[in-house]
A and B are shown apart, each in its own frame.
Chain A
Amino acid sequence: MLKLESLWGEASQSRLHRSLIAAIARPGEVVDSVSWLGGRRAWLGVLATLADGGTTLHDLHGLIDERDWAMLGANRAGWGDAAFVLADAARAPADDLRLDRGSLIRPETGATLVLDCAQVGSGTGSEILRGPGVDGQRILRFDGIDPLWWRLREAHAGFPQGIDLVLCDARRIACIPRSTVLGGTTAGGGGR
């Protein structure tokens, strides 16, 4: 009876979930999920898959409208306590932004930072990724990420503690979990 946008349907959620698992398992690999987003940006698909009434979410730059907040069902929390934090990658994070990086006893409570980027998988900025899930090294290209986000990730690092990044653009997703080592960059807008 109720007509749900395709993004909120079971088939889309299931496929997005599988895409996310694949993206987290292979850091830096770009997943194109346009078919399942119904014209919405990829970050909403990520949050629709990960967030529910049992999770906490902070919208740093007011990207989520009230209607989508209701559909997500997630509980609002401050940035220091939220399990998921959404931000516009083009805007620099505040100096005092400190996310939950977990503890040695409970590292799994470390936050997942979802960044809405101009481009993921193409663009003039890039990062070289190494570590679990990467055969040798992988280059991730992107555009529209303020360099201070990389500094924020470093400030929270200390495996097993840390934060996990999910980079999204209009339709593509790439993940950089806390276990990934970022090293070396190429020149380009937004890269380090």
Chain B
Amino acid sequence: MNPDSAIALRHRALVAAPRAEVVALAARLAGRHEVRPHALPQEGLVLLTLEDGVFRDHFHLGELAVATAEVEVAGVRGGACLVGGDREWAEAAAVCDAVVAGRLAGVDEVEQLLATGWDKIGQTASERAAMRAATRVRFAELGEEPPC
């Protein structure tokens, strides 16, 4: 797997995991390892730039409130950029990210949390699929068999 994809998937699961559990776990990990900031943690607005599908022009969809954090845990870098502007959550996610990236002590706990995140993502996907299914309509001309 592309390492960037692995990081993106990890971040997706971290964001889906309960915030309180991520913050509590990161605090425990910070007690075990030396944690230092790599860059200044920040919260603010970023412009979301997208490319239109026809002319391939870039346009700004709008602004998003985000929080970013980059840390070094026992010399291993980790980072997070979360929508919502919650800096404490971003810092905690960055610590968890570094522990997984470096396979440091405590990685099992983080992976359990990631599994919780994936469960939540799966549950949300199922709920949305059920909601979409309830709105399905079948179009059929008179005399034709309805499409399956």
A residues lining the B interface (CB < 8 Å) = 1-4, 8, 70-73
What is the CA–CA distance of A133 and B56 in the complex, to the nearest angstrom? 52
What is the CA–CA distance of A1 and B95 in the complex, to the nearest angstrom? 10
Provide a sorted-by-A list of 23 A–B residue pairs whose CB atoms are within 8 angstroms: A1-B23, A1-B26, A1-B27, A1-B30, A1-B91, A1-B92, A1-B95, A2-B35, A2-B36, A2-B41, A2-B69, A2-B71, A3-B35, A3-B36, A4-B37, A4-B40, A8-B40, A70-B38, A70-B70, A71-B39, A71-B40, A72-B40, A73-B40
B88 within 8 A of A: yes
What is the CA–CA distance of A2 and B92 in the complex, to the nearest angstrom? 9
Nearest residue (CB) in A for B35 is: A2
What is the CA–CA distance of A2 and B40 in the complex, to the nearest angstrom? 10
Contact pattern, B 60-102, Cβ under 8 Å of A = 1, otherwise 0: 0000000001110000000000000000100110010000000
Residues of B with C-beta under 8 A to A70 = 38-39, 70
B residues lining the A interface (CB < 8 Å) = 23, 26-27, 30, 35-41, 69-71, 88, 91-92, 95
Known: A1-B35, A1-B92. 15 other contacts (CB 8 A): A1-B26, A1-B88, A1-B95, A2-B36, A2-B41, A2-B69, A2-B91, A4-B40, A4-B41, A8-B37, A70-B38, A70-B39, A71-B37, A71-B40, A73-B39
Nearest residue (CB) in A for B69 is: A2
Most buried by B among A2, A3, A73: A2
Residues of A with C-beta under 8 A to B70 = 70
Residues of A with C-beta under 8 A to B69 = 2
Residues of A with C-beta under 8 A to B35 = 1-3
What is the CA–CA distance of A57 and B131 in the complex, to the nearest angstrom? 52
Residues of B with C-beta under 8 A to A3 = 35-36
Q: B31: shortest Cβ distance to chain A, in Å? A: 11
Nearest residue (CB) in B for A1 is: B91
What is the CA–CA distance of A70 and B39 in the complex, to the nearest angstrom? 5
Residues of A with C-beta under 8 A to B30 = 1
Q: B85: shortest Cβ distance to chain A, in Å? A: 15
What is the CA–CA distance of A71 and B70 in the complex, to the nearest angstrom? 10
Residues of B with C-beta under 8 A to A2 = 35-37, 41, 69, 71, 91
What is the CA–CA distance of A3 and B71 in the complex, to the nearest angstrom? 11
Most buried by B among A1, A3, A71, A73: A1
Nearest residue (CB) in A for B23 is: A1
Q: A10: shortest Cβ distance to chain B, in Å? A: 10
Residues of A with C-beta under 8 A to B95 = 1
Q: A192: shortest Cβ distance to chain B, in Å? A: 39
Q: B66: shortest Cβ distance to chain A, in Å? A: 13
What is the CA–CA distance of A1 and B35 in the complex, to the nearest angstrom? 9
Q: B81: shortest Cβ distance to chain A, in Å? A: 13
Q: B99: shortest Cβ distance to chain A, in Å? A: 13
What is the CA–CA distance of A71 and B88 in the complex, to the nearest angstrom? 18
Residues of A with C-beta under 8 A to B40 = 4, 8, 71-73
What is the CA–CA distance of A136 and B21 in the complex, to the nearest angstrom? 63
Q: A48: shortest Cβ distance to chain B, in Å? A: 8
